[in-house]
Every structure is written in structure tokens, then in C-alpha cells.
């Protein structure tokens, strides 16, 4: 795989940095990142670090060595070859050993003062923001701008239709979330890209690498970046190793992120000092959370919380346990959750509590607050019935049964 031909194109109000990726498996394709022109000074045009990290996982899956026809960070190149490639091979066996070389390296530190994090309105990003903006006293550690990315979290990019759908959702979520940074007078930088078209394995598997890739593109602006973790504590990352393996690289974030740092930009994996429920308890009384919390992973164009997907339910179950459900009635449809979703969801958590760390967290918190839970036997029978129903009962009859169970 060859990465070459760095190009800067001004298109209306946006500035795009692009390269050509020449791959045996994929052929010749353009990889690009784009930001509004008022943030163009942050684009790194002297090193191809961001493009290299973005293509690392695809190159390893296809077993293609990478040659960068340009300059990369000496520290990053060393760390990728020595540590990151063996680490990805160890945790993701489908990855093959490759070698990365570059025409040139340097150890430049850029003159910048940005301290950033991503902002999606979710529990993880709110917790990182609360700790390192609201509570942080030292300027060198205090977040001074926020980023919003289109590298996979808004939907996959395996076709032109999927890319267009993801871009529409990216713009819609950005417009919704931008009100919060505006209130605080912080920059909220949208970074658009087609990077997810090179990552057909799903956002969850490679989100750390794709996020770091986009932030490195803005390396002229940032010297520190807090990457909000996927919701598990340090201990849980070890304890539920088998649960996470092969589905989510968050498992290795605390090891991986520092190795993706350069001489100029320091990546910090933030959030594993808490469990998911500890995070919610930490931010639940931070007033903006009650206006902007956005956790939904439902596959639809709207940015609004659906009150029935796995993340909406997980959040609502926690809020219910601590008696804060009504405080979030402007963000969630509480009636819908209570009447049609809650019982079945809680049954699923009871069944999953010994396998799934998020279910375990939710059940423990409910017990601590004396919330009445269905027994394991009842939960198991109901969840099994629903699962069997999906396979064997005609769809119309199954929907009727499911709706009756939910109403119960």
C-alpha cells in the first residue's frame, strides 16, 4: 500500500486535505478529510501521520506493507512498527504483520495550544468534558475546543448511499449539538471524511484508530487530546476481556492511545477510572446534561433519543434506579420506556448480568437502590420465548405477543 500525493483543495467554505491510497486489494482511491476554512490553520500539511494511522488497520487486514511517500513523525513510525502492529495482531488475529516505511521522518513539535476532546452528547464524552473543562484548573490540561467527527459513528460507508446517509446524520447531529459549545463560547470543529469507506468492519472495531487519524490531521492545532473511553473501568477491561475481544478496540485503548502520540500531540485515554454507572452518577446533576444528553444508537436519520435502543435503555434504567428519570423527560419518552420497553429490557439485563459488564453495572445499581427486579427464572423464560418467537412464529403473531409482554 502506498500513501502519496498530499493535496490541499479549497472548496467553498471548506478546506480538504487528501492523499491517494494505492492498494493491491482496493486499487487507487482518494482518502480525504475536510474542515471549515476558519479551522484550516489546524490542518497538518507537513506530515502524513493522520493518513497513516487511518490506513493502518485496512493494511493489516489485507496484509499489505505501507510506504508513505512523504514525511511522518519519527516517534509515531517507531511506535507503530515496534508496538502497535504486534498489539493489534495479538488482540485481533485477522490482522497480519506488516512493515511501515516512509520517505522521510522528523521530530518536529508544532507551535500549538489546543486541548481537545470529541463531543457527541453521550455519557462518556460528557464525563470527560465535565472533568477536564468544568473541574480542571490548569490551563495546560483544560479543554479549549471540541471536535465532531464523521469517520464511522454516524453510519457505515460501504457504498455511496451509506456515505450520503452518514453525512446527512453527521450534519444533523452537529447542528443539534453545536448549541452547547456555543453557550460556552468554545469552538466545535466538524471534521468530515470518507475514512469509514476504508473500514467496512464496523465503527466499533476500529473507532480508536479512526478517531486518532482525524485528530492527527488537525495536529497543527492540538497538543493534547482526551479520548473518552468506551464505558468500562480498568478492572472491567481485564475482567470482561472475552466479552470485548473482536468487537471493540476500547479493550486496548489505555495501552494503544499513548503509542499513537507524536512528538507534538499527546493522546490520553480518559474515562476508564470509572464504571459506566459511576460516570452517570458523576454527571447527572451537571445541568447541561439534562438538556443535551444524546446516547441513542438507533439506526435512523433523527438525532433524537429513541428511548428503546440498547444505549437509551441502559441510560434510562440507571436514571430510574437513582430516581432521576423525570429530570430527563424532555430528552426521552419516559412513558414509552415505562409502558413498552422497560420490563423486557430489565429481564434481558437480569439474564445477561454474569456475561455483560454493562448489565452487571445496571443490576447492581438497581439492587443498591432497592428497585424490584424480575427473578432470573421469569427473565430467562421471557427472553427465551422472545428469542424463539423471532425464529418460529409468523411476524404478525410474534409482534402481537411481544407487545402484550411489554405492556405487562
Out of 298, 324, 340, 406, the only residue in the binding site for Zn ion (CB under 5 A) is 298
Residues binding Zn ion: number (CB under 5 A): 5
Distance between CA atoms of residues 234 and 88, nearest Å: 19
Residue 31 binds Zn ion, judged by CB under 5 A: no
C-beta separation of 272 from 127 below 8 A: no
Q: What is the CA radius of gyration of the chain?
A: 22
Q: Which stretch binds Zn ion (CB under 5 A): 109-117, 201-209, 301-309, 368-376?
A: 301-309
Out of 296, 334, 341, 359, the only residue in the binding site for Zn ion (CB under 5 A) is 296
85/331 with CB nearer Zn ion = 331
What is the spatial order of strands in the sheet that 222-228 belongs to? 100-106, 66-73, 2-11, 14-23, 27-36, 187-193, 145-150, 114-118, 222-228, 266-270
Any bridge partners for residue 269, and if so which? 227
DSSP state at residue 346: H
38: CB partners within 8 A, 6+ apart: none
List the x/- string, 202-241, binding to Zn ion by CB under 5 A.
----------------------------------------
166/214 with CB nearer Zn ion = 166
Q: Which stretch binds Zn ion (CB under 5 A): 29-37, 77-85, 192-200, 306-314?
A: 306-314
Total length of the chain: 408
226/337 with CB nearer Zn ion = 337
The residue with cell 448511499 is 161
SS3 141: helix
213/305 with CB nearer Zn ion = 305
The residue with cell 493489534 is 88
Out of 245, 309, 383, 393, the only residue in the binding site for Zn ion (CB under 5 A) is 309
Cα four-point dihedral sign 157, 198, 129, 167 = negative
216/313 with CB nearer Zn ion = 313
Residue 312 binds Zn ion, judged by CB under 5 A: yes
Min dist CB 90 to Zn ion, Å, is: 34
Min dist CB 314 to Zn ion, Å, is: 10
Min dist CB 138 to Zn ion, Å, is: 36
Out of 77, 250, 306, 363, the only residue in the binding site for Zn ion (CB under 5 A) is 306
What residues between 147 and 176 interact with Zn ion by CB under 5 A? none
Min dist CB 333 to Zn ion, Å, is: 10
43/296 with CB nearer Zn ion = 296
Give me 358's grid cell. Answer: 454493562
Distance between CA atoms of residues 59 and 65, nearest Å: 7
DSSP symbols for 168-222: HHHHHHHHHHTHHHHHHT-EEEEEEESGGGG-TT-HHHHHHHHHHHHHHHTTTTE
Min dist CB 296 to Zn ion, Å, is: 3
C-beta separation of 267 from 253 below 8 A: no
Q: Which stretch binds Zn ion (CB under 5 A): 13-21, 112-120, 310-318, 364-372?
A: 310-318
109/300 with CB nearer Zn ion = 300
Q: Which stretch binds Zn ion (CB under 5 A): 2-10, 11-19, 89-97, 299-307?
A: 299-307
Q: Which stretch binds Zn ion (CB under 5 A): 8-16, 176-184, 289-297, 324-332?
A: 289-297
DSSP state at residue 130: I
Min dist CB 294 to Zn ion, Å, is: 9
C-beta separation of 254 from 244 below 8 A: no
Neighbours of 210 (CB within 10 A): 23
Min dist CB 341 to Zn ion, Å, is: 10
First to last CA, the chain: 57
- For 11, the enclosing helix (H) or strand (E) is strand 2-11
List the x/- string, 314-353, binding to Zn ion by CB under 5 A.
----------------------------------------
Q: Using CB under 5 A as the criterion, which residues of the chain lie in contact with Zn ion when the complex forms?
A: 296, 298, 306, 309, 312
Amino acid at each position: 500500500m502506498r500513501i502519496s500525493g498530499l493535496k490541499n483543495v479549497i472548496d467553498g467554505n471548506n478546506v480538504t486535505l487528501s492523499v491517494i491510497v494505492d492498494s493491491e486489494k482496493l486499487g487507487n482511491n482518494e482518502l480525504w478529510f475536510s474542515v471549515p476554512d476558519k479551522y484550516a490553520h489546524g490542518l497538518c500539511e507537513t506530515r502524513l501521520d493522520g493518513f497513516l494511522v487511518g490506513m493502518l488497520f485496512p493494511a493489516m487486514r489485507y496484509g499489505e506493507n505501507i510506504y508513505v511517500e512523504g514525511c511522518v513523525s519519527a516517534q509515531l513510525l517507531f511506535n507503530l512498527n515496534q508496538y502497535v502492529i504486534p498489539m493489534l495482531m495479538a488482540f485481533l488475529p485477522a490482522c497480519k504483520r506488516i512493515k511501515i516505511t516512509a520517505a522521510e521522518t522528523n521530530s518536529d513539535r508544532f507551535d500549538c495550544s489546543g486541548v481537545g476532546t470529541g463531543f457527541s452528547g453521550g455519557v462518556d464524552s460528557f464525563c470527560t468534558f465535565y472533568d477536564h473543562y468544568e473541574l480542571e484548573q490548569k490551563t495546560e490540561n483544560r479543554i479549549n475546543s471540541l471536535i465532531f467527527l464523521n469517520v464511522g459513528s454516524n453510519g457505515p460507508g460501504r457504498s455511496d448511499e451509506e456515505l450520503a446517509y452518514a453525512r446527512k446524520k453527521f450534519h444533523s447531529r452537529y447542528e443539534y449539538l453545536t448549541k452547547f459549545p456555543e453557550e460556552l463560547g468554545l469552538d466545535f470543529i466538524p471534521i468530515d471524511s470518507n475514512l469509514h469507506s476504508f473500514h467496512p468492519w464496523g465503527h466499533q472495531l476500529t473507532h480508536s484508530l479512526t478517531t486518532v487519524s482525524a485528530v492527527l490531521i488537525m495536529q497543527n492545532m492540538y497538543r493534547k487530546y482526551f479520548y473518552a473511553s468506551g464505558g468500562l473501568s480498568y478492572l472491567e477491561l481485564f475482567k470482561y476481556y472475552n466479552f470485548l475481544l473482536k468487537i471493540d478496540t476500547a479493550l486496548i485503548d489505555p495501552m494503544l492511545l499513548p503509542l499513537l502520540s507524536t512528538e507534538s500531540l499527546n493522546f490520553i485515554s480518559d474515562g476508564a477510572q470509572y464504571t459506566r454507572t459511576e460516570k452517570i452518577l458523576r454527571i447527572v446533576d451537571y445541568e447541561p446534561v439534562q438538556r443535551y444528553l444524546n446516547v441513542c444508537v438507533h439506526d435512523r436519520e433523527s438525532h433524537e433519543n429513541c428511548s428503546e435502543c440498547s444505549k437509551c435503555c441502559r441510560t434510562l434504567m440507571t436514571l430510574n434506579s437513582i430516581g432521576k428519570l423525570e429530570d430527563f423527560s424532555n430528552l426521552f419518552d419516559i412513558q414509552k420506556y415505562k409502558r413498552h420497553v422497560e420490563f423486557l429490557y430489565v429481564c434481558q439485563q437480569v439474564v445477561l448480568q454474569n456475561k455483560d459488564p454493562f448489565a452487571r453495572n445496571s443490576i447492581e445499581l438497581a439492587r443498591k437502590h432497592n428497585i424490584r427486579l424480575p427473578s432470573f427464572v421469569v427473565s430467562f423464560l421471557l427472553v427465551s420465548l422472545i428469542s424463539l418467537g423471532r425464529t418460529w412464529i409468523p411476524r404478525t403473531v410474534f409482534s402481537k405477543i411481544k407487545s402484550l409482554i411489554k405492556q405487562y
